Amino acid sequence: PILSLLEIGGVKIGKDDVVRENDPTNNVTDSIFSKIGLQLHRRDNHPIGILKNAIYDYFDANYGGKFIKFDDICPLVSVKENFDDVLVPANHVSRSYNDTYYVDAQTVLRCHTSAHQAELLRRGHSHFLVTGDVYRRDSIDSTHYPVFHQMEGVRVFSPAEWIPSGLDATSYAATDLKKSLEGLARRLFGAVEMRWVDTYFPFTNPSFELEIYFQEKWMEVLGCGVTEQEILRRNGRLDNIAWAFGLGLERLAMVLFEIPDIRLFWLTDKRFTSQFSGGQLGVKFNPFSKFPPCYKDMSFWINDSFTENNLCEVVRGIAGDLVEEVRLIDNFNKKGMTSHCYRIAYRSMERSLTDEEINELQLNVREQVQSKLNVVLR
Ligand code: PHE
């Protein structure tokens, strides 16, 4: 059952405030609403909570408890907090209705914990960690889910800290940042293969990503960098330098606990939950069974407004966590029209699905893809 009134960090949220089907400024679905307030990161016996606590321990041990921790800040934030305050440009894709869940034109479900940086800096904090659920419209596969958990870390330095080093402020912060995160990664993973990649974020410069080798691929697990001076200036910290990072807890936990599919984190099935307990980092998950996947292909002529994220939202709305992957397998043009063929993998984490059940889901998917996305089935 979906609770229709929630309270998170002192903020009351009614379902009707967040989900409005016929309002074009709103694209939050029932299935997204049902995740708000679950706060997996605050469960000490859940892999996400266990990992959060292990990262807390690392920072406590290395910084003598200086990092202040927040893990109950409401995920409904203003567009200003989520984007403007961290200098995301007006035309950046992450602001689109295709990428972000909007409650109305001014309010979103935060797409990153960076949404809280500015306010906490303004309040004068110099060392903080913010953990929370974040929301992104995205494609469907084993490492992507529209709700996941991030931990943000920010450290602010005063001139007295970097001047004696002889380094310029930016190099000083960048060196300290990489050292801290490498220490964290070593503490969590020991010998896993990792690499730093230079990247771009609107809020940091220089910016880096840390990648870890998992399931035969390099997987991004965190973004970080030296905070843009403009953010410090706007929040009353003009003479300082700072670093920031944002790490994806699911992805780290998948590697640490060998959890093969991101949907598993949401299971309430005892066969999953009973395998983890507080303080035990990196106990290997023992898959209780692998049920066979079932593949269904569908082809259609797309229109100009078609996006894969919209398709995935429709599929998830019908099949929920029974859908494992939605993948484009063919794509061609003919007489100015474009055809896409998608392969949908259905698989339950808990049981075998019957043919009837899958056929029914697929029939619904075909109908709604046609009616909601205005594409022409082939
Ligand atoms: N907010 C970024 C993301 O979600 C991560 C990040 C945080 C990068 C802080 C740099 C600094 O991808």
pLDDT at position 282: 84
Using most ligand atoms within 8 A of CB, pick from 86, 99, 180, 203 the residue to mutate for ligand 1. Answer: 203
Whole-complex ipTM? 0.99
By C-alpha distance, which of 181, 199, 303 is closest to 243? 181
d(CA 58, CA 298): 48
pLDDT at position 289: 80
Query: At a CB cut-off of 8 Å and minimum separation 6, what does 134 contact?
Result: 75, 109, 110, 111, 112, 113, 147, 148, 149, 150
d(CA 152, CA 130): 5
pLDDT at position 216: 87
pLDDT tens digits for range 149-179? 999 999 999 999 999 999 999 999 999 999 9
Task: Find residue 222's DSSP bridge partners.
Answer: 210, 247
d(CA 133, CA 72): 10
Q: What percent helix, strand, coil does the chain show, rounded to 5?
A: 35, 30, 35
Q: What are all long-range contacts of 374-377, with beta carbons under 8 Å and residues at least 24 apart?
A: 374/303, 374/305, 375/300, 375/301, 375/302, 375/303, 375/306, 376/300, 376/301, 377/298, 377/299, 377/300
d(CA 41, CA 93): 28
CA end-to-end span of the chain: 37
pLDDT tens digits for range 323-341? 999 999 999 999 999 999 9
Q: Which residues of 185-196 are buried (b: 16+ CB within 10 A; e: fewer)?
A: beebbeeeebee
Distance 228 CA to ligand 1 centre (A): 12
For ligand 1, residues with CB inside 6 Å are 112, 114, 152, 201, 203-204, 223-225, 244-246
DSSP label at residue 92: -
d(CA 220, CA 254): 12
d(CA 252, CA 261): 12
Cα angle 117, 119, 120 (rounded to 5 degrees) comes to 65
Which two tokens mark 268?
A: 């309430």
The gap from C-alpha 297 to its chain's centroid, in whole angstroms, comes to: 28
Question: Burial level of 108, CB count in 10 A (0-12/13-18/19+)?
Answer: buried
Residue with tokens 């309430």: 268
pLDDT at position 115: 98
Distance 334 CA to ligand 1 centre (A): 41
Distance 43 CA to ligand 1 centre (A): 24
Nearest C-alpha to atom 7 of ligand 1 is from which residue?
A: 246
52: three-class secondary structure by DSSP: helix
pLDDT at position 181: 95
Residuewise pLDDT in 10s, the chain (378 residues): 556 889 999 999 999 999 999 999 999 999 999 999 999 999 999 999 999 999 999 999 999 999 999 999 999 999 999 999 999 999 999 999 999 999 999 999 999 999 999 999 999 999 999 999 999 999 999 999 999 999 999 999 999 999 999 999 999 999 999 999 999 998 998 878 889 999 999 999 999 999 998 878 898 889 999 999 999 999 999 999 999 999 999 999 999 999 999 999 999 999 999 999 999 998 999 998 889 999 999 999 999 999 999 999 999 999 999 999 999 999 999 999 999 999 999 999 999 999 999 999 999 999 999 999 999 999
CA distances from 149 to 17, 25, 26, 191, 206 (A): 23, 25, 22, 24, 24
